[in-house]
Structure 1
Amino acid sequence: MPRASVILPVYNNVDFVLEAIHSILVQTYSDFELIVIDDGSTDGSTFLISQITDPRVIKIFHKTNRGLVASLNEGLKKANGEYIVRMDSDDISTPDRLAIQIAFMDQNPLVDVCGAAFTTSSGGTMKVNPASHEEIKTWLLFHCCICHPAIIMRTSMIHRLGVQYDSNYLHAEDYELWNRLAFQVQMANLPINVLYYRQHNGQVSNQHRAIQDATARRIRQRQFSKLGLELSDEENQIMLDILGFKINPYDYNSYSRALGFANWVLGQNSKHLIYNQEMLNTAFSRCISHIPY
């Protein structure tokens, strides 16, 4: 049984897929299986994948496109490794990614989900997400702070909790999963770059932005419901302005609305104790003051 199972779904990524696969096959840590799921590609990706001969690669071909969630859940079922690692077909893993993340998980048996920092392939600065579980749990109320193609998870946790991605949260299935798991398991983010995240016009966040934003709102509302809150359209817009660092401190109305909203949420949290109160206060303060983590 391999230590790690890398799940790599593919759909029409002929320009990038071989580079993504190669970045896994040349890892310094070699005890893994790579599950490549071609989800009915029509652009030549299927042929390129079929030519791979490395025995660590498990190739699955769908005749028709079933969607990303179906491929991800199929990968979870097929995985034989102690750890499950995610990888996208248009990104590049650093050569030491598996070694770094597996060593961390081995040394921290209470952590079930671990993300990491990443760098855009265009040469941007390294994006470091909140590190501790309570920070991650709190910031997930605002936005997705775990990079999906940079995570590693324990297979035992997947089986214990019967974890699957939820097709009801289209184009934000990872954001939904992290919010769900944040109340069940311990999470972490490593401040180490393990991935070069490719930005291009074909990625989901560009092609399906409106659907992704609407789904993210439903996910956040589910979390606000834990605080006994149902956001109106106006209140949701205030939250979007806050998390988007769009509050103008020199505009009295904008600033006072944001502060009032934050105090409202903090007041409810003090009653329900869903989030660490200090962490939540810090998150609101940083967003309103335009100080990213």
Structure 2
Amino acid sequence: MPTVSVILPNYNHANFLVDRIESILTQTNQDFELIILDDASSDGSISILSSYENHPKVKSIIFNKKNSGSTFIQWQKGLGISSGKYIWIAESDDLAAPNFLEYHISQLKNNENLGVSFSASVWIDEKGTKIHEPGHEVELHAAGNTLLKNEFIKGNLIYNASSCVFKKSLVPENTLKEVIEYKYCGDWLFWVDLIKNTEVKRSSERLNSFRRHANNVSFEAESKGLQFSEGLKVVNHIFKQQTFGFLEKQKVIFYWVQKLRNSKIKDKKQFLRIMPFPAKVFYTLSPLVNKLLP
């Protein structure tokens, strides 16, 4: 039985597939199985993927006849047939350093309390050229509950699934049924429920390459305001799980009000309506409140 199950969900990423798959197959740690899931691609992906059917590392390739409409349905399917102790969801348009698996598996094996190990990322464009290195991605090691209150309440700390390896035993089965209803923030909700009873570590080594291009789901989702319509559901989910003092909660609400104010969304009122009280007051008085809050 392999130590790691690598799940590769794909939809119309033919231009990136060969490089992506080769970055997996050439890992220095070869103790893995690869599960490939194609969601009814129409761009030549099927031909490329079929060429790997007989590769010894490929456990299975599943071609959907009809598009599922959700990458999270593909996650669920891949997790269901995986046999490894650890999971790596390797998005089909990203890349990994050759020692990605070796590094993260060593971290997880050397600390039984650690359930999630992920990397800082290099952002690349369609041609693979580096375009950004997020400066905030420093070394981090903390209890999941601490991160929920300090980091995940503000957004998805593990913003790219490709950067992460985690214990399969932590997968929240009930949450898996929920995330398939999300178009954008399902991974955020997934991590929120997965990390709450474990430790999480981020390496400052940039072992993951996160590709940004015109077909990224996030671009369309952000333009529709899904980071608020879906994201605020996740925030409320965290509020229910964790204990926040009165002032702590107001700071979180104010943070999201400011985030909405600074967004490019035209109709901001629709999202103010779904924010908890006193979001509307904060929105009106945010310049003053920003000065008053410690």
Place the TM-score, normalised by the shorter chain, in its bin: 0.7 to 0.9
Cα deviation digits, residues 135-194 of structure 1 (max 9, x gap): 5322101111113211111123338x6662622332111111122233232222122211
CA separation of 1:102 and 1:239: change in aligned 2, threshold 3 A: same
CA distance in 1, matches of 2:64, 2:186: 21
**CA distance change for structure 1 residues 20 and 255 in 2, over 3 Å: closer, same or farther?**
same
Q: 2:170·2:194 contact (CA, 8 Å) conserved in 1? A: no
Identity across the alignment (%): 24
Q: CA deviation at 1:212?
A: 2.8
CA–CA distance in 2 between the matches of 1:176 and 1:243? 19
1:240 corresponds to which of 256, 259, 267: 256
Give the alignment of 1:177-256 within 5 angstroms: 177-209=190-222, 210-213=224-227, 214-225=229-240, 226=242, 238-240=254-256, 242=258, 254-256=286-288
DSSP-derived class of the 1:164 partner: helix
- Range that drifts further, 119-128 or 197-206: 119-128
1:133 deviates by: 2.3
CA–CA separation in structure 1 for the residues paired with 2:98 and 2:116: 21
Task: Report the equivalent of 1:54.
Answer: 55
Q: CA offset at residue 54 of structure 1?
A: 1.6
Moved beyond 6 Å, runs of 4+: 234-237
Deviations 1:96-123 (A, max 9, x none): 1000000100111111122211101232
The residue that corresponds to 1:136 in the other structure is: 147
1:130 shift after superposition? 6.3
CA distance in 1, matches of 2:38, 2:198: 31
Amino acid at match of 1:257: V
The amino acid that maps onto 2:141 is: S
- Tell me if 1:37 matches 2:37: yes
Q: Contact 2:76/2:176 (CA < 8 Å) preserved in 1?
A: yes
Q: How many residues matched?
A: 252
Aligned residue in 1 for 2:176: 164
CA distance in 2, matches of 1:132, 1:216: 24
TM-score when scaled to structure 2?
0.76
CA contact (8 A) 2:3 2:31 kept: yes
Q: Could you tell me how far apart the structure 1 residues matched to 2:261 and 2:104 are?
A: 31
Task: Answer yes or no: is the 8 Å Cα contact 1:242–1:258 preserved in 2.
Answer: no
- Per the alignment, do residues 235 and 81 of structure 1 end up closer, same or farther by CA in structure 2, a change over 3 Å counting? closer
Farther off after superposition, 208-217 or 169-178: 208-217
AA aligned to 1:191 is: S
Cα distance in structure 2, aligned partners of 1:163 and 1:240? 24
Tell me the equivalent position of 1:257.
Answer: 289
User: What 5-or-longer segments of structure 2 have no aligned partner?
Assistant: 263-284
Q: Aligned-pair distance for 1:245?
A: 11
Q: 1:215 to 1:139 in 2, by over 3 A?
A: same
Query: What is the match of residue 273 of structure 1?
Result: none
Q: Kindly provide the amino acid, as one letter, of the partner of residue 48 in structure 2.
A: L
Cα RMSD over matched residues?
Answer: 2.8
- Residue aligning to 1:125: 133
